[in-house]
Amino acid sequence: MCLGPGKATGTACVIKNKNEKIKFIEHSIVVCRTACFELLPYLKKSSGIITEQGAILSHAAIVSRELKIPFVAHIKNATEKIKNGQKIFIDADKGIVKIVK
C-alpha cells in the first residue's frame, strides 16, 4: 500500500523496537513494524519508509506525504526479511520493495 508516493534507494535501518538503541544514518530507508511518533526524528531524515502496518491517515503517512518521502506499508515480515545495512529500492507508487544486490 502506497502511503507516500515516490521512489528511493538507500541503506536499510531496521527498527524492531522503538526503545532499542538505533544506529541511524541520514537518508537511510527506515524499516519497522509501525511508524510511531517516537520514530519521527528518524522518519524526517530518511529517504524512504517501509512498514508492516499502516493506514492512509496515520501520523507517519501524513508526515511522509508532507515531506515527500516514499512510504510503503503492509510489507509482510519486512523487519525479518530486510537486514540492517542492506541496500533497498522502493517504488511506493507501485508498492514495490526490492533488496538490491
* Residue in this structure with the C-alpha cell 518521502, named with its chain if needed: 69
The structural domains of the chain, ordered by start, are 2-100 (3.50.30.10)
- Residue 70 CA, distance from chain mean position: 8
Global confidence as pTM: 0.91
Q: What is the pLDDT of residues 40-60, one digit of tens each?
A: 889 999 999 999 998 888 878
Inform me whether the pLDDT recorded for 18 exceeds 90. no
74 is catalytic: no
Catalytic residue among 18, 59, 65, 74: 59
Backbone angles phi, psi at 59, to 5 degrees: -55, -45
